[in-house]
Amino acid sequence: MVLASCTYLEDIHLLGNRFSGEIPESFYTLTNLLRVNFTGNRFSGNLSTNFNNLTNLRTLYLESNQFTGPIPDWNNLTNLRNFNVSFNIDVTGLIPSTLGNFSDQSFLGTSLSRKVLPHRSPAPRSPAGDIRTPVTEQYNWRNNEYSETKKDSDGLVFWGKEDEVFSLQELLSASAEVMGKGTIGSTYKAYFESGIQVVVKRLKNVSVPEAEFRVKIKEVGSLLHRNLEPLRGYFYGTEEK
């Protein structure tokens, strides 16, 4: 990993590769990093206190590796909003108070125990939040008939054999980043603490009956291509679609 010269680097995403060994010391000199995703590799060794050098870090995903030992007190990571160290079975000890505001979903499949209460309140979410781990196992929508499978009380409708469901409120409060703006609305990518990520198109100035809207949604849902993400659901409201 030759990264020391990439001093302006803000994002590193190495999801699902076979990188192994300890994280090199040069990595901790990249102080402009905002988002790091090492999920699904074979990184090993103790989790370093040098993560404290990355004071701008907002997202840190270390799950499904081979890290060992305790999690240090990363007191300098005050901007951290998303964190996961799940499925590192040899990570042991107590959850540091600096990470105590993260849910149990961030520590699954480890030997940690939660005995230390957080000394800081959960960080507020921002509409221009941070990148979340891509979902590593996507449902194969081919040969599947697009049909409604769940309609929450808040009006959010899911399609097909959807295993991961969430409420509209959870969607609206998830971390997100703007992907682009067009003539009919803006596109966002939303990231949940559970690991789900979805692309959301928020339409503007679209006044059509719900029945007609559903027909158009089915047309979109029937498009199958390896370069297209499958349709997961929709929301139809008077002022929000």
213 pLDDT above the threshold of 90:
no
To the question of domain 11-113 being in CATH 3.80.10.10, the answer is yes
Domain 148-235 architecture = 2-Layer Sandwich (3.30)
pLDDT for the residue 162: 55
Share of the chain above pLDDT 90, in %: 29
Give the model confidence (pLDDT) of 104-114 as tens digits. Answer: 878 888 888 87
CA proximity to 86, closest of 58, 100, 65, 115: 65
> For 67, which DSSP code?
E
13 pLDDT above the threshold of 60:
yes
Give the model confidence (pLDDT) of 103-141 as tens digits. Answer: 887 888 888 887 543 443 333 333 333 333 333 223 332
Q: Kindly list the domain boundaries of the chain, sorted by start residue.
A: 11-113, 148-235
Most confident by average pLDDT, 1-15, 78-92, 125-139: 78-92
| Residue of 9 and 4 predicted with greater confidence | 9
Mean pLDDT of the 139-144 span? 32
